[in-house]
Structure 1
Amino acid sequence: MKNKTGRLSFILIVFITVIAVFLIFAKFVFVNSVLYYSFFGLIIIFGYIFIFRPLVFIEKMVSSAIDGDYSVTNSGQVSAKKEILGKTGRLGEELNLLFNRQMVSQESLNILFAASKTITSRIEIDDVISMLLDLVHQKMMMPSTCVVFLDDDGLLRIKASRGLTDDFIRNIHLRPGEGFVGRAFLSKETLIINDATREKSPETEKQVKGEGLMSFVHIPIIVNDKAVGVFNVNSRSKRFFDTNLVKTLSTLADYLAVAVGNSKMYQEMQEFNRRLELEVESTTEELTNTNLRLISKVKEMKSLNDIIFSATGKVEMNEMFATVIDKIKFVTGVSIAGFILYDEQNDALTGVGDFKGFELSLSDETPAILIKSFKNVSTFISNELFMEPSSDMQKLYNAYGATSIIVLPLVEKKTIGLFVLGNKVTGKFSQDDLRFLSVVASQIAGLIDRAKVYEQLSRRVNDLITLRDISNTIRVEPQLDEIIEVLADKTIRALESDYAMFWLVDDSQKFLMPLFPPVYAKKDIMKISIESDALITKIFAEGKIQTIDTLEFQNKAYNKIRELSGMKSHLFVPLEAEEKNIGLFCFCSKTQNFFNDDKIRLAELIAGQTAAIVENARIHNNLKKVNAELERLNSVKNDFVSMVSHELRTPLTAIKGFVHVVLNEEAGKINEQQKKFLGIVDQSSNHLNHLISGLLDLSKIESGLIALKLEQLDLADVVKKSVETNINQIKNKNIKLRLEIDKELPKISGDYSRLMQVYDNLISNAVKFTDLGGQITITVKEKGDFIISSVSDNGIGIPEEEHKKIFEKFYQVDSSHTRIAGGTGLGLFIVRTIVELHGGNIWLDSTPGSGSTFSFLIPKIKRAGLVIKL
C-alpha cells in the first residue's frame, strides 16, 4: 500500500513539474495576461488527459508486472498483459505526437505573435510581406511560400516569395478564376491540396515536378470584402496541412490583409497629404498673388477714385478736362495727357488738353492710327513713336514731343473720342497700364457724357431764359420799332453773334423793309423787292433757316456794310406767322462756320416766338388804328341814337296823347272802326315808345351813364305791380298765372323802376312765347344771403346752344315764332345789365317744347352785427 502511495506521489510530482515547466515557458512567451491564462487552462486540461492518466495506467501495468501478476502458467492473463503493454506503447506514441503538436501550436502562437508585432511596427507593405514570408519559411519550416497580387493588367502575379525558383515565379500569370490560385482569388475561399499527385493539371505538374511540392494551401487575401491577392504556403509532404495549421495560416493571411489595408490607407493618406501639401502650397501662392493683385487693385481703385472724385464737382467741360488731365499725369506718371474728341459738325477729331490745336478729319484717306482706333474702338500702344510711319503719329511726335504713346477709345453708348497719354516717365507703357487706363477711360467717358448733358441742359436753360426775356418784350401797347430793336439785341447776345439785320414785309406785300439796325430803318435805298432774284428774297420765299459763309448782296449798300464789318458767317432766319412769311432776320459773325446745330436750333425757337411778337405788335398797331376809328364811329352812333330818341319821343308823346283824347271821345263820338284803327295806332305808339326807351337805355349802358336810385323795398311789391301792368296781355291769351311768394321776405336795396323794367321784360317775353291757355309762374323766395326770383312758362322753349347768346344785345333766337312776335333783341340784355348792377346774377333753364325759366339772384340787405359792451 505504501509503495502504491509513493508511486502515486511520484506521478503527481512528475505531472506538476511538467505543468510548471510549461507555465514558466508561457510566462516568457505571452506578455498578454489573457493569452497567458488561456494557455494555463489549456495546459491543465491537456496534461490531465494526455500525461496524468497515461502515467497512472503505466504505473498500474508496471506494478502488476512487479507483483508477478502475469505468470507463464496463466496464458490468458499473459495475453491480457501483453495487450496492455501494446496499448501502452501506442499511447506513448500518441502522447509523443500530441506533445509535438502542442509544440507546433506553441510555435504557431509564437509566429502569430511575431506577425502581430510586425504588422503593428511596420507600415511599408513590402517589409510586412517579407517578414511574414520569413516567419512562414523559417519559423514554420515551410519549404516555399509566396504572395500573389492582382496586377494592373488584370493578371495574378507573384509579388514576393520564399523557396520558389525564378522560372516558376516568371511563369505564374493567371487570370482570376484560372488555376487553383485564380479560383481561390475569385471565390474568396481557402483552397487546400494535400496530395498533388492526385490533381491532374498543368499547375500541379509544375509544382510537383519543378518544385517537388506535394501539398499546398491557397488563402485569399481579403480587404473590405474584396479579394486583392492570394497567400500561398507549400509542403513537400502529403496531407501536411491539417485544420489547425490552416487556421494559423489563415490568421497570417488576415494579418496580411490588415497590413495591405493599412498600407493602402497609408498610401492614400500619404497621397492625400501630398495633395494637401501641394494644395496648401498652391493656395498659399495663389493667396499671395491674390493679395498682391488686391493691393494693386486697391491702388488702382484709389487712383481711379482720386481721378473721378477730382472731376465730380466740375460740371463745366473745359474745367473738368483740366482737372482730370492734371490728376491723370500725377497718378500715371506721364508728361503728356489729353483727349481727342469727335466733332460731329465738322466730322473731325479735335484735341483737348496737351493736344489742343490737333485736328484730324475723318474723311482723310491717309492711314491714320487715331482714325482706326476711333472707328474700330481699338487701343494702341507704341513705345517708339518715331518709328511709326502714319502721319498722325508723326504729327504727335514732331508737334507735341511725344516719344511713346497709349491710345484708348472713349465709349459711352457710342465712341465719343480718344484718351491719349504720352511719355511715361518711369519706363515703357505695358499691358498693365493698358488694363488700368481702360477702366479710367470708361469712367472718363461717363464724365464727358455727363458734362455734355450738363452743357446741353445749361444751353436749354439759357435758351429758355432767352425765350422768356423775348416773351417779356410783349407790352400792353407794343411799339413795333422798339420791339424789333429789343428782339435783335437779345437774339444777338443769345446766339453770340456780332451783328444782325432785320427786314419786315411792308403793307403792300411787295418789299422787305429794313427795321434793324435803326440807322437803316425804313430807308427806301435799303428796301429789297420781293420779286427780285436776290439770294435774300429766295431764302425769304423758302421760309427755311440757312447758313451762308460767302454772301454777295445785289444791293451795294449791304455789300459795303458786309465788307466794313468783316462778317464771315451768316445765319438767315425767316419769320412766319399764320402760315405766311412776314420778315427775315440775318445774324452775322466774324468767325468762319460759327453757327453750329445748337445755335441754329435756338434760332428756330427764337424765330417762332419773334414772329408771333412781331406779328402781334403789327396787329396791335393795326388794331389800335381800327379801334380809334371804331370809337369815333361809336361816338357818332351814340350821338345819333340819343338825338333820334329825343327827337322821336317828343312828337310820339303828342301823338299818343291825342290818340287817347280821341279814343276817350273827349273830342266827340267815334264809331267802332275808328276805335279799332286808333287802338292800333295806340299799340304801335307803345311799341315805338318801348323801342325808344330801349335805345336810350342801351346808349346809357354803353356810355356808362346808367345809374340806380337805390332804396329799401319789398321785391313782392315790384312783382305785383308788374303783374298789374301786364294783366291785360295775360288775359288776352287766357294764360293762367301763379304767384309763389314767401311771406315776410327780407328787404332788398334796389331801384324800383329798374326792377319793374326787369319783371316787365321777363313777363312780356313769357306772354309772347306762351300759347293760348298756357301757364306762367312767378316765384320770389329767400335763399341764404339772396332773394331768388324766377319767371317760368310752358311755351316753346329755347335750344341749349342759344342759352349764352340770349343775353347779348340785339340777339334773337332764330325761329318763326320769334319773327312773328317781333322784338329788338335789347330786352334781355338790359335785364342782365340791371340785375348785375344790383350785384346779382341771371341765368336760363330751358328745353325746347317744355318752356323756359329765367331766374336771377338779388342780394338782400345785411343786418348790422349786435355789439355787446362789457
Structure 2
Amino acid sequence: MKLTIKNIFGIKISFRILIFIIIVIISYIFVREIDRGIFIIAYPILIFGLGYFFVFKPIFITEKILYSALSGDYTQVKVLKSFGESGDYINSLLNRLLISQESLNILSVASRVITSHIEISDIMNMLLDLACDKMTMPSAFITLKDNDGTIRIKLSRGLSDEFTRNFNLSENEDFYGRDFLTKEIVIINNTVKNKLSKYEEIFLQEGIMSFVQIPIIVNDKVVGTFNANARVKGFFDNNIVKTVATLADYLAIAMENYGMYQDMQEFNKRLELEVESTTEELTNTNIRLIAKVKEMKALNDIIFSVSSKVDMNEMFLAIIEKIKIITNVSFAGFMIHNEHTDSLSGYGDIKGFELQIAENTNSILIKSFKNITSFISNELFMENYSDLKDLYNNRRITSLAVLPIVEKKAIGLFVLGNKTLGRFSQEDLRFLSVVSSQISELIGRVKLYEQLNRRINDLLILRDISNTIKTEPKLEEILEVIAEKTVKSLESDYAFCWLFNKTGEKLVLKYPIEYINKESMEFDVKSDSPIIKIFLEGKIQSVTDIEFNNELDDICKKNAIKTTLIVPLKVEGKKIGFFCFCSKKQNVFNEEIIHLADSIAGQVAVIVENARIHSRLKEINVELEKLNKVKNDFVSMVSHEMRTPLTAIKGFVHVVLNEDAGKLNENQKKFLGIVKQSINHLNLLISDFLDLSKIERGLIVLKLERGNITDIVKKSIMSNINQIKEKEIELKVDVDENIPDIEIDSARILQVFNNLISNAIKFTSSEGIITITVKDKGDYIVSSVVDTGVGIPQDEYQRIFEKFYQVDSSYTRSATGTGLGLFITKTIVELHGGNIWLESEIGHGSHFSFLLPKAKKSFRREKNVQNIGS
C-alpha cells in the first residue's frame, strides 16, 4: 500500500485511540477500588481530560492541517512545536510534501522551457531561475569545460563575481574535476565537516553550508555540471537531489538537441551552398548544352550540306558557305598539304595562296601546320610574320583564326578571317576545333572516294588493256592500244616502248610506229646510258632531265619534256623491255601514279610477251603445217603403194592355204597361217594410217543409212570369235530386244566395235570375261564393251583417246599397237553425233561405253553423255 500523509495520520490516530481505550479500562479497574462517590465524580473527569488532550485535540489539529495541505494552501500550514513529537513529525512530513509538490511544478516548467527555446544560454538561465526561485535555493551555477580543458562557471545565480571568477580547475582536480571522469552525483550536506581544499574558503564566504553537484552527460560524456547550493546544513535529501538531477538531465537533453540543431544548421548551410553551387553549375551546364546544341546543329548543317559532295573543291566551297554564316566571318578557306610538292595550297577565299614548307621559316601558318597548334590574331597589321603580312596587305584580312586539320597527322589548315561581330575568342577556337575535326573526317571520306574512283579507273584500264588480247594479236597493234590507254591514266603526254631483239643484246624501239627500226633509237644493253642503268635495276623510277641519246634528247627538248617515268617490263622475273612515259610537267609522277604503273606493267609485260610468242608460234605453225602436209601425203602414198602388193600377197597365200597349188604339210600350213595373220594385221595398220590421213585432212565421209546395232554386234563377234576362243575368254552378250534401226555408217560402227573388242581381247588374260551390252536409252542407244583385264589409271582416261598415245607398259604388259585405234574410234562416234567415255579400275578391267543418237544430233558435253550412259 502506498504510504501517504493521510494514511500515516490515520494509523497514528488509531494507535492513540487504542492506547486511550487501554488507559480507560485500566483507570476503571483502578478507580473502582476506591470510594464509589469519588469514582462517580473523578472517573468521567479523567476520561474527558485524557480524551481531549490525547485524542480529540490532535485529531482536530491534524484535520485542519490536512485540509490546508491537500487544498494546496501551504501558507496556511503552521507546524507548531508545542505539539511535541507529533508536531515535529507532522512538520517533517509537510516539508517533504511541499518539496515534492513544488518539484513537479518545477519539472513541468523545465520541460516547457527546453521544448520552447532553442538558444542553450536561454535554457540555462531559465533552469537556474527555476532552481533559485521555485526551489528556494540561495545560489546555483553551471560549469562547462573550455576548449583548453579548463572547467569554468558558464552561468550562475546568487554568487559573487569573485567566486565566479576564481572558480576554475582542470580535470581530475578536486572532487569537481574528478566528477568529469566518474560521472557520479556529489552531495555535500555539511561544507564545514567536508573539507573542500582550495575552494573551502570561498564557499564559506558565500554562506554555502550544503550543495549538490550533478554531472551533465551528453552522448555518454561529461560536458559540465549543474550545482545547487543551500545556506543550511543537510538541506539536500533524495527528492531535492532527484529534482536537481532531472534539471541537469533536461539541460543535457537541451545541450544535445542544441548540438544536433547546430549540426543541422551547419548541414543546412552546406546544403544551401551545395544547392547554390549545383544551381550555378546546372545553369552553366545548361548554357554549355545550349551552346553545344547550337554547335551540333551547325555541324549537322555543314555535314548535311556536303554529304552529297564527292569532289574536294565542291566540298570546300559548301563548307565555306555555311561556316561564314555560323561564325560571322567574311573570309574562310583551307590550305591543304600536297605531299608530292611538300607545300600548302589554298582553297576557297584563300585560293592561289601557296606556301612551300621547306622554304618558309618565318611563317606562322607553316609553324601551326608542323606543330599542330591553333592561333588567333585580332590585329594582323601588327604581326611580323611574312605570311600574315601577305594576307593583310594583299587580301585585306585584319583578324585571323587558324586551326590544324588532323587525320592521324596534319593534312592542312582551316583558316577564317575578318570576324564581323567582335573579336576571335577562345570559345570561337573551341567551336572551330570541333568543326575542324569534322572537316578532317569529311576530307578523309572524299579522299577515300577519290581513291576508290582511281582504283576503279585503274581496274578499267587493266580491263581495257586485257581486252587488247585478240585471237591473233599483233605486237604493233597491242603496243599502240596500250600506249593510248596508259598515257592519259599516268598523267603523261608521250610514251615510248623498247623491247629486246632476238639476240637479247639490244633494246629496239617498238613504239611509236614512226620511229620503229631506227638504229639511232636503239640501246646497247652494255652501254653506259643512264636509261639503261635504270632499266637494269628493274624498278620503276621517275627522273628529270635524263639523257637518252642525241636524237631522243632532241625529241624531248622539242616537246618540252621535263619528267620521265621508266617502267621496266618483266615476265617471271625476266626483263623483256621497258616503257618510257614522258610529261611536260615537273614532278608529276607521284606514288599513286607509280603504283598504277607498277600494276599495269606486269599485265602489259605478259600481253607483250604473249604477242611476241604468238608471232613466233605463228611462224612455227606455218612450218609445222608444211611438214604435216608432207607427212600426210607421204603416209597416204606409202599406204596406197603398200596395199596393192599386200592384196596380191594375201590372195596368193589364200590360194596356197586352200591347196589349190598343191598339197601342204602341217608345218607349211602353220607358217602360212602366221603369214596370213601378219598380212591381216598389216592391212589393219594400213587402214588405220589411211583413216588418220583422211581425218587430219578432213576427208573422212560417213555413208549414212538405216542400220541395226544388233546386227553389227553379231558381225563383230564373228570376226573376233577365233581370237576369243584361242585365249579361252568367256564372252557375255546382253542386247535389249527390239533395238530400233538408226541412221549410221554401218561399216564405221563395225570398225568401232572391232577396235573395242580387239582391245578387250588384247588386255584380258586367259579365262577372263568380256561383256558386250546394247541398251535402248530413250533418245540414245548406249553400247558397252567391258573386260576383266589389267585396267587403266584414272589420269589416263582422257589421253587414251589421243592419237599415237599408249598406256604405260607397266599396266599393259606386253600388249603393243600403234595407238590409233581409240583415236579413230572416238572420231567415228563423234562424227555420228555421239560420245565415248571410259570407266576403269586398276586390276579389275575397263568399261568402254559410247552412245549414238537415234536421230542425228550435234556433239554433246561429256558430263551430260555420262549421265545418259548411266
TM range (shorter): 0.7 to 0.9
Q: Distance in 2 between matches of 1:99 and 1:201?
A: 33
1:577 equivalent to 2:568? Answer: no
Map 1:593-632 → 2, pairs under 5 A: 593-632=587-626
Q: Distance in 1 between matches of 2:96 and 2:763?
A: 155
User: Which residue does 2:371 correspond to in 1?
Assistant: 376
Residue of structure 1 aligned with 2:560, choices 543, 550, 566 = 566
Paired letter, 2:530: L
1:632-653 CA-to-partner distances (Å, cap 9, x unmatched) read 4333433333333333323322
Q: 1:690 to 1:109 in 2, by over 3 A?
A: closer
User: Which residue does 1:855 correspond to in 2?
Assistant: 849
- Deviation of residue 511 (structure 1)? 4.1
User: Which residue does 1:25 correspond to in 2?
Assistant: none
Farther off after superposition, 378-387 or 599-608: 378-387
Q: 1:731 to 1:115 in 2, by over 3 A?
A: closer
1:286 equivalent to 2:281? Answer: yes
Q: Distance in 2 between matches of 1:543 and 1:788?
A: 61
Map 1:179-578 → 2, pairs under 5 A: 179-202=174-197, 205-206=200-201, 208-223=203-218, 227-364=222-359, 366=361, 368-556=363-551, 558-578=552-572
Paired letter, 1:617: A
User: Which residue does 2:724 correspond to in 1?
Assistant: 730
1:333-384 CA-to-partner distances (Å, cap 9, x unmatched) read 3333333333322334443334434444444583654444334333333334
User: Which residue does 2:75 correspond to in 1?
Assistant: none
Q: Distance in 2 between matches of 1:339 and 1:393?
A: 15
Q: Distance in 2 between matches of 1:525 and 1:759?
A: 69
Report the secondary structure of 1:541's partner residue: helix
Farther off after superposition, 437-446 or 368-377: 368-377
User: Which residue does 1:809 correspond to in 2?
Assistant: 803
Q: 1:262 to 1:581 in 2, by over 3 A?
A: closer
Give the TM-score normalised by the residue count of structure 2. 0.84
Q: Distance in 2 between matches of 1:97 and 1:503?
A: 146
1:688 equivalent to 2:688? Answer: no
Farther off after superposition, 109-118 or 595-604: 109-118
Q: Distance in 2 between matches of 1:538 and 1:701?
A: 55
Give the TM-score normalised by the residue count of structure 1. 0.84
Unmatched 5+ residue regions in structure 1? 1-40, 59-67, 863-870
What is the identity percentage for the equivalent residue pairs of Structure 1 and Structure 2? 60
1:440-488 CA-to-partner distances (Å, cap 9, x unmatched) read 2221111112221111111111111111122222223333322222221
- Deviation of residue 145 (structure 1)? 0.5
Q: Distance in 2 between matches of 1:77 and 1:848?
A: 165
Q: 1:77 to 1:521 in 2, by over 3 A?
A: same
1:828 equivalent to 2:844? Answer: no
- Deviation of residue 665 (structure 1)? 2.3
Q: Distance in 2 between matches of 1:693 and 1:230?
A: 147
Q: Distance in 2 between matches of 1:609 and 1:644?
A: 50
- Deviation of residue 578 (structure 1)? 4.5
Report the secondary structure of 2:576's partner residue: strand
Paired letter, 2:376: I
- Deviation of residue 566 (structure 1)? 1.5
- Deviation of residue 263 (structure 1)? 2.6
- Deviation of residue 597 (structure 1)? 1.2
Q: Distance in 1 between matches of 2:316 and 2:14?
A: 119
1:665-684 CA-to-partner distances (Å, cap 9, x unmatched) read 22333455544443343223
Report the secondary structure of 2:251's partner residue: helix
User: Which residue does 2:715 correspond to in 1?
Assistant: 721
Q: Is contact 2:151–2:169 with CA below 8 Å preserved after alignment?
A: yes
Q: 1:111 to 1:647 in 2, by over 3 A?
A: same
Q: Distance in 1 between matches of 2:834 and 2:726?
A: 33
Farther off after superposition, 388-397 or 71-80: 71-80
User: Which residue does 1:633 correspond to in 2?
Assistant: 627
Report the secondary structure of 2:192's partner residue: helix
Report the secondary structure of 1:776's partner residue: strand
Q: 1:529 to 1:279 in 2, by over 3 A?
A: closer
User: Which residue does 2:135 correspond to in 1?
Assistant: 140
Q: Distance in 1 between matches of 2:573 and 2:276?
A: 85
- Deviation of residue 617 (structure 1)? 2.6
User: Which residue does 1:119 correspond to in 2?
Assistant: 114
Q: Distance in 2 between matches of 1:685 and 1:424?
A: 114
Q: 1:579 to 1:119 in 2, by over 3 A?
A: closer
Paired letter, 1:161: S
Cα root mean square deviation, aligned: 3.8
- Deviation of residue 316 (structure 1)? 1.5
Unmatched 5+ residue regions in structure 2? 21-38, 58-80, 857-870
Q: Is contact 2:790–2:812 with CA below 8 Å preserved after alignment?
A: no
Q: 1:110 to 1:312 in 2, by over 3 A?
A: same
- Deviation of residue 197 (structure 1)? 2.3
Q: 1:730 to 1:410 in 2, by over 3 A?
A: same
- Deviation of residue 718 (structure 1)? 2.3
Q: How many residues align?
A: 812
Q: Is contact 2:792–2:811 with CA below 8 Å preserved after alignment?
A: no
Report the secondary structure of 2:432's partner residue: helix
